[in-house]
Structure 1
Amino acid sequence: MGFSDKHSLPLLLFFFHLLLFFMSTADHNDLPKLGASNKKVSALLVFGDSTVDPGNNNNLSTVFKSNFLPYGRDFATGQMPTGRFTDGRLTTDFIASYVGVKEYVPAYLDSTLSIQEMMTGVSFASGGSGYDPLTPRLSNVIPISKQLQYFGEYKKRLESANGKQRTEDHINKAIFIISAGTNDFVVNYFSLPIRRRSFTVPAYHQFLLQHLQDFIQGLCDGGARKIAVVGLPPIGCLPVVVSLFSNTAAISKRGCIDQYSSVARDYNLMLQNELNLMQPSLANHGARVYYVDIYGPLIDMIQSPGKFGFDKVNVGCCGTGYVEASLFCNPTSYVCSDASKYVFWDSIHPTEKAYHNLFNGIRSTVDLIVNST
């Protein structure tokens, strides 16, 4: 399978216009919980991209930010654009609430966080990041390697407050979540010729997995014992991908482009195999890694929307829903009246309701991680 340079121009123009722009309710209070008394999980520590970034990009010089309305329009505490790339909460917020550590996972770079707030979990993730070191450079966001450094800094701050042994015990009981990879393909491999000149798709898969393997080893060396790695979504169903990569005949139908989703499926299979191969060496450190499938729950929402109460699956709620994201989804944009009818909030990111459904789809995996010893 090849991806020719003719697909690069539309997306490059999109990001160019985005750069120019930069320069010049769903109620889930009934969410079931394991309970605040749960002692099996001490914290939720999150790494990756915009699917799990609650605001680390807010003060970066990048177009990949969302600390303004209409982002956060349906946040549980009222209209609050925290920097989450959706209308409300992320899947990691629902997980944190479910396991009983906190209601929302804050951004590590939030300067107002107390040590007590940090102890129960933070996200180091950065919208626009990826496993490929080139990907965050394209967007001027926080690389995965820097997120790992921030984790080391986080540990030192906890050690200063609680001592080395207590901090080590605390980290050992935390759940680590890694969610990245989509930008490596959508922003990088599919849209620019740089990596395509050096890597076939399978070779690029392996390139990304090697970086992920190194990252997991770094977490394990830092005390991580319960590590969850999220697979890729059906990339060919993202509204921005449908808009920019559909041929003329298919664009009016706005159906998923299986050529791109198949890349995600192949990657997910390779990822699962790689994680299985890592298990023995991780077990020597008392650690375990888990695969988290989001492809299945998301494609189920897209293919059977009525089952979940959705009306729109191929456009976002904000703007036209075709290409708008980040600074193109802003206070002057048209926004749909009821985001709960949409799978996607903007042209890339799911709505809070879709994120909640993703949580429901992976809840059994969360239970498995929580109850592991």
Structure 2
Amino acid sequence: MESPHAIPNIIFILFIWFAFIIYVQAQSQTTVTKKKPSALFVFGDSTVDPGNNNYIRTPMKSNFPPYGRDFINHIPTGRFSNGRLVTDFIASYIGVKDTVPAYLDPTLTIQDLMTGVSFASAGSGFDPLTATLSSAIKLEQQLEYFKEYKSKMEMFIGKEGIADLINKSVFMLSAGTNDYIVNYYGLGESVTGVLYPNVTSYNNFLLQNIEQFIKELANEGARKIAMVGLPPMGCVPGEITLNGDVSRRKCVESMCSVATEYNVLLENKLKGMQISGVKLYYADIYKPILDMIQFGQSKLGFDDVSTGCCGSGYIEAAVLCNMNSPVCDDASKYVFWDSVHPTEKAYQYIFTTLRPIVDMVLNDN
């Protein structure tokens, strides 16, 4: 006669067996979603510049305290934040390295170069005039540095080796904010405003430059290119101070509308471009930054969403945020580090929202 405990025992064994199968499948899927690329290469402005501006003559520097206060060993590397950038979190997540170094750093080893570098320069943009206004490295020059990089690496790993490395790498481009804040509506307004009398014409000009840059990058072997859109520019503390409601620290809606229009055009441009063998991706940072500003105090653990941690929080950036500036005790409670750039915690939150895009990039064949 069958034991009354037999059936429950069988059910328990089947439960354990199915749980094991589900676990194995989940582990297998996790492995698939994190295919490791050979390297990460970055182009753009201060949002992704880890210190290239340290090695050129420009006022756009941040290689001094209190910048880097929460970075590894509290070193001010030239990153415009208190700690790591989005690209550092991405590099760590995809398994190529802990942080992305600046290409112009003369102390880089071959291994540093092998796994990717950033060519970005704080103050740069898609309009060549933008970089000129800040004495930054133009996007065209950043591309020339990439070509120089390839020539250097070819000496060590050969022509086929560098071609294979580039083919299996991920490329990221983050710029555009300076084109509007510094150039079109700022220092370059007298020149750019005459050439492009309305923002729509300027948008089209920038998109043409972006398309040309992507094509040239593809000609150099890039196969996976992620393009970052604009943030809600009107919510940047410095922009609020100069053009917004200072007493209530409300975003400048007109500037946010410009960013929204540009992002739609950029996303459509990327969808419409057809380059054989090349995958293009749009990375949205507008929504996560706006979410931090709108819901940061109630849901995300931020105490201050409209001023920077460094200085008064209203206007200081670069040399205006320095050792003599008052600095908040805990930058993790702030969305912005200075009047323009996010804190490490904010960058980390942005990364978490971009992670599905990163996984898509890694899995695309």
Q: Please, what TM-score do these two structures have when normalized by structure 2?
A: 0.89
Report how far residue 193 of structure 1 moved. 2.4
**Secondary structure of 2:88's partner?**
helix
Tell me, in whole angstroms, the C-alpha distance in 2 between the residues paired with 1:296 and 1:86.
20
Q: TM-score, normalised by structure 1?
A: 0.87
What is the aligned counterpart of 1:295 among 282, 286, 306?
286
Which residue of 155, 164, 169 corresponds with 1:160?
155
Residues 278-317 of structure 1 aligned to structure 2 (within 5 Å) = 278=273, 280=274, 282=275, 284=276, 286-305=277-296, 306-317=298-309
Aligned partner letter, 2:66: P
1:353 and 2:353 matched: no
When the two chains are superposed, the root-mean-square deviation of aligned CA atoms in Å is: 1.2
2:85 to 90, 93, 103: 90
Displacement of 1:255: 0.4
Decide which of 271, 276, 281 is 1:276's aligned counterpart.
271
Matched, 1:57 2:49: no
The structure whose Rg is larger is: 2
Deviation sequence 1:260-302 (CA, Å, 0-9, x none): 0000000000001111111x2x1x2x11110000001110000
Q: How far apart, in 2, do the equivalents of 1:38 and 1:274 lie?
A: 28
Partner residue, 1:194: 191
Structure 2: runs of 5 or more not aligned = 1-29
Question: 1:66 and 2:66 equivalent?
Answer: no
Specify the alignment match of 1:339 in structure 2: 331
Q: Select the residue among 132, 137, 157 that pairs with 1:137.
A: 132
Higher helix residue share: 2
CA drift at 1:39: 5.2
Q: Which runs of 5+ in 1 are unaligned?
A: 1-33
Identity %: 56
Contact conserved, 1:40 with 1:371, CA < 8 A, in 2? no
Q: Does 1:204 align with 2:198?
A: no
Cα distance, 1:38 vs structure 2:
5.9
Question: Which residue, out of 241, 257, 262, partners 1:262?
Answer: 257
Residue-by-residue CA offset, 1:287-328 (whole Å, 9 max, x unaligned): 111000000111000000121100111100000000000000
Q: How many residue pairs end up in the alignment?
A: 331
SS at match of 2:195: coil
Matched residue SS, 1:251: coil
Secondary structure in 1 matching 2:93: helix
**Cα distance between partner residues in 1 of 2:193 and 2:350:** 31
User: Given residue 261 of structure 1, which amino acid in structure 2 is its aligned partner?
Assistant: C
Moved over 6 A (4+): none
Quote the Cα distance in structure 2 between the aligned partners of 1:74 and 1:40: 28
State the SS of the aligned residue for 2:322.
coil
Secondary structure (helix, strand or coil) at the match of 1:71 reads coil
Residue in structure 2 matching 1:172, options 163, 167, 191: 167
